[in-house]
């Protein structure tokens, strides 16, 4: 689907007094409503917070393309659930060259292979986010929405995204429709309802209910020194206040000392270090906001702990199989002829709550894809290498990583590939480049600007911006009950000068869409 919607000239003009008032209102709203991050080098326990990076105005986004991305989420949920259940496919794709040349993915795949025949919990829970950019390949204003990646682990900013939308609606009300500086801002129906905090917490609660023990807790596995703690704490508060479910937080290093798995029942138990005489708490759901990057596993101890948790009866969000399903290599292989049809249209695939799907559904999904190529020695891989070295300005080289900051762009690709070729290899080991995929660059429309405020600053900078739309989904599968729902959206906006994002470091702002 293409949209010919012309984005309005943005941002609309305002007086210096209106600009200053918006900064004051947005910053105080953020601090008052937990739309916040911890400052760098915060003390523990924390004694202060700063507003999360924000935009003074919502950013225009074509309504039809927003609706398309939201409508596709249940189909994407079903697709990745079916991938996680297809062990033969995961073995073929992730157990091949990727596991041999990518140490992190190799450890993940070998660990999952080691424990998968011992698994006692068939139910899996996914909190997903499918990320998109607007694409204007011809510069004509005819736009499409193209998928950047699909996240199956630690899909963050759901709570803060809800707060961003609430902040922009508050500014709309508090300033008489943004001082009537724009017809788009004056129309309240252009501000879409968005409740990812509520919906993601409800998804975690569905996993807790499927586990079947009203006394059990939800475990958040978190990183040391996490600055995005409020995004996570809002989920904890929502679980407790809306569902009566207690959550506890631990890092991998905590769990190495605390986690116990009962030998007979395989229940995961966590004793309280503050109440040593009380019975340990049983864990119903393990929700990972960590474990997606090599730095989360500084030693073998963390991998040992991950395998211990995987063997337990707790429902994992995600399981190791579902984490593997989110790899970039999987995204690339799905582009090969017939693979998507097999997963979505084959009658032999398990029912995961998407309903009967048609070729039209497959075609709509595929319309959101940009060119993806392997970096192996197949004919297609050889073609990809030629394109990467002769026309690098059209591509991005992607490793099997989450969390941003790992990609190689444009003119940096050829010298990077040359450096990979110099790295030593064991006998029979694939070339290092096979750990990567080559992706055609998405070309966002030009001419859209906004006022961005870095966290903790009292001024805004006007920037030519690029906005990335994330669509959340919740998926519970593998048991008697299936949950397959969209769960709201996230808009991250950054200056066009930066290829990479990063909210905590101030490159991207948490934004909300203005539908036009």
Digit-coded pLDDT (tens) for 429-450: 899 999 999 999 999 999 999 9
Residue 496: alpha-carbon gap to chain centroid? 21
**Residue 282 labeled ligand binder:** no
pLDDT for residue 456: 85
> CA triplet 210, 354, 219: central angle to 5 degrees?
30
Active-site annotation holds for 151: yes
500 HSE (CA, 13 A, CB side): 14
| Pair (273, 408) in one structural domain | no
| Pair (291, 403) in one structural domain | no
**Residue 187 labeled ligand binder:** no
| Pair (408, 466) in one structural domain | no
Is 175 within the bounds of a domain?
yes
What pTM, to 2 d.p., does this model score? 0.96
**Residue 228 labeled ligand binder:** yes
Rg (CA), the chain: 23
| Pair (365, 506) in one structural domain | yes
Active-site annotation holds for 497: no
Which residues touch 377 (CB under 8 Å, ≥6 apart)?
A: 431, 434
Active-site annotation holds for 403: yes
pLDDT for residue 44: 86
| Pair (421, 448) in one structural domain | no
Is 72 within the bounds of a domain?
yes
Last residue of a domain, one of 407, 441, 475: 441
Active-site annotation holds for 454: no
Q: How many separate domains does the chain show?
A: 2
d(CA 230, CA 157): 9
Q: Give Cα separations from 237 to 37, 47, 98, 234, 359 (angstroms).
A: 16, 19, 39, 5, 42
Contact 314, 284 (CB under 8 A): yes
Active-site annotation holds for 398: yes
First to last CA, the chain: 16
Last residue of a domain, one of 441, 465, 494: 441
Give 364-398 pLDDT, tens digit per residue.
Answer: 999 999 999 999 999 999 999 999 999 999 999 99
Mean pLDDT of 39-43: 89
pLDDT for residue 426: 85
| Pair (204, 277) in one structural domain | yes
> Which CATH number covers residue 435?
3.30.1490.50
- Please choose, from the candidates 58, 62, 59, 60, the residue with its C-alpha nearest in 3D space to the C-alpha of residue 1: 62
Is the confidence at residue 39, as pLDDT, over 80?
yes
| Pair (39, 172) in one structural domain | yes
| Pair (424, 480) in one structural domain | no
Is 9 within the bounds of a domain?
no
Please state whether beta strands 513-515 and 59-61 pair in parallel, antiparallel, or not at all (unpaired).
Answer: parallel
Active-site annotation holds for 402: yes
Q: Choosing from 163, 198, 313, 328, which is the catalytic residue?
A: 328
Active-site annotation holds for 113: no
- Stretch among 59-68, 188-197, 457-466, 496-505 having the lowest mean pLDDT: 496-505
| Pair (280, 405) in one structural domain | no
DSSP letter, residue 351: P
Q: Choosing from 163, 198, 398, 454, which is the catalytic residue?
A: 398
| Pair (448, 299) in one structural domain | yes
Is 39 within the bounds of a domain?
yes
| Pair (300, 427) in one structural domain | no
Is 5 within the bounds of a domain?
no
**Residue 403 labeled ligand binder:** yes
| Pair (497, 399) in one structural domain | no
d(CA 422, CA 382): 18
String of DSSP letters for 75-89: HHHHHHHHHHH-HHH
Is 344 within the bounds of a domain?
yes
**Residue 155 labeled ligand binder:** yes
Is the confidence at residue 502, as pLDDT, over 70?
no
Last residue of a domain, one of 396, 417, 441: 441
Active-site annotation holds for 129: yes
Is 133 within the bounds of a domain?
yes
Is 8 within the bounds of a domain?
no
Task: Note down the domain range covering 431.
Answer: 372-441
């Amino acid at each position: 689907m293409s949209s010919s919607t012309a984005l309005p000239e943005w941002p609309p003009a305002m007086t210096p007094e209106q600009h200053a008032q918006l900064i004051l209102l947005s910053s105080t709203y953020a601090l008052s409503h937990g739309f916040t991050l911890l400052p760098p080098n915060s003390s523990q326990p924390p004694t202060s917070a700063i507003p999360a990076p924000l935009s003074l105005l919502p950013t225009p986004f074509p309504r039809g393309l927003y609706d398309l991305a939201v409508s596709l989420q249940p189909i994407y949920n079903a697709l990745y659930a079916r991938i996680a259940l297809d062990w033969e496919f995961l073995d073929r794709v992730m157990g091949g060259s990727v596991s041999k040349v990518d140490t992190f993915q190799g450890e993940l795949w070998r660990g999952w292979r080691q424990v998968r025949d011992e698994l006692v919990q068939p139910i899996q829970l996914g909190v997903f986010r499918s990320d998109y950019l607007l694409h204007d390949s011809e510069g004509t204003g005819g736009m499409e929405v193209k998928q950047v990646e699909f996240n199956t682990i630690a899909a963050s900013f759901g709570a803060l995204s809800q707060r961003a939308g609430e902040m922009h609606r508050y500014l709309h009300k508090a300033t008489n429709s943004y001082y009537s500086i724009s017809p788009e801002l004056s129309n309240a129906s252009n501000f879409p309802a968005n409740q990812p905090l509520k919906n993601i917490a409800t998804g975690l609660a569905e996993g807790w209910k499927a586990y079947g023990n009203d006394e059990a807790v939800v475990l958040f596995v978190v990183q040391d020194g996490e600055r995005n703690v409020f995004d996570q704490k809002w989920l904890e508060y929502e679980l407790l206040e809306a569902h009566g479910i207690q959550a506890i937080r631990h890092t991998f290093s905590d769990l190495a000392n605390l986690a116990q798995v009962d030998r007979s029942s395989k229940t995961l138990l966590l004793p309280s270090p503050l109440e040593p005489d009380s019975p340990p708490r049983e864990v119903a759901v393990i929700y990972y906001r960590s474990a997606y990057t090599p730095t989360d596993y500084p030693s073998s101890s963390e991998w040992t702990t991950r395998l211990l948790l995987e063997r337990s009866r707790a429902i994992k969000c995600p399981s190791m199989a579902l984490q593997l399903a989110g790899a970039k290599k999987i995204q690339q292989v799905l582009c090969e002829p017939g693979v998507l049809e097999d997963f979505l249209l084959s009658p032999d695939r398990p029912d995961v709550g998407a309903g009967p799907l048609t070729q039209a559904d497959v075609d709509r999904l595929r319309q959101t894809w940009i060119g993806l190529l392997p970096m192996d020695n197949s004919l297609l891989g050889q073609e990809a290498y030629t394109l990467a070295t002769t026309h690098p300005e059209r591509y991005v080289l992607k490793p099997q990583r989450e969390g941003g900051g790992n990609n190689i762009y444009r003119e940096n690709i050829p010298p990077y590939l040359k450096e990979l070729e110099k790295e030593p290899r064991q006998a029979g080991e694939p070339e290092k480049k096979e750990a990567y995929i080559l992706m055609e660059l998405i070309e966002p429309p030009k001419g859209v600007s906004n006022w961005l405020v870095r966290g903790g600053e009292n001024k805004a900078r006007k920037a030519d911006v690029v906005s990335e739309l994330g669509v959340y989904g919740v998926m519970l599968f593998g048991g008697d009950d299936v949950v397959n729902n969209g769960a709201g959206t996230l808009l991250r906006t950054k200056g066009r000068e930066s290829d990479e994002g990063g909210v905590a470091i101030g490159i991207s702002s948490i934004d909300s869409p203005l539908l036009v």
